[in-house]
Amino acid sequence: MFAVDFKVRDYECDMQGIVNNAVYFNYLEHARHEFLHSKGIDFAALARDGVNLVVVRSEMDYKGSLTSGDLFQVTVVYEQISKLRFGFRQQVVRSRDAAVLLEALVIGTAVNARGRPFVPEALTLLSGA
């Protein structure tokens, strides 16, 4: 399982003193990009080549809240969903007590230069990794 370490910054918190729900999207996306990079897949290079990875669905179950200064990890597990879709199962895990504060499934596809969906070979190879 791939994981990226984070620390909550003050400006990510709302008036209640907890991380704003929308900020979790940023955490998850950053971890996915780092995961792809660790597998030799350059997100920016794909885009330059006319291949755009796009999110088609996000499911997030909030189970607890992070607060300013919390250390945490975002995990990433890749899975092939169908011939045209792939998914990333992700968790936000607080470091001090290993509490799972969020579980997510982010489903995507790739769109080629003609706008047709497909899954690049580099991603299909991740299923066996």
List residues with catalytic annotation: 14
Planar angle of CA 82, 83, 86, nearest 5 degrees: 55
Convert the chain into a string of H (helix), E (strand) and C (coil).
CEEEEEECCHHHECCCCEECCCHHHHHHHHHHHHHHHHCCCCHHHHHHCCCEEEEEEEEEEECCCCECCCEEEEEEEEEECCCCCEEEEEEEEECCCCCEEEEEEEEEEEECCCCCEECCHHHHHHHHC
**8 A C-beta contact, residue 50 and residue 39:** no
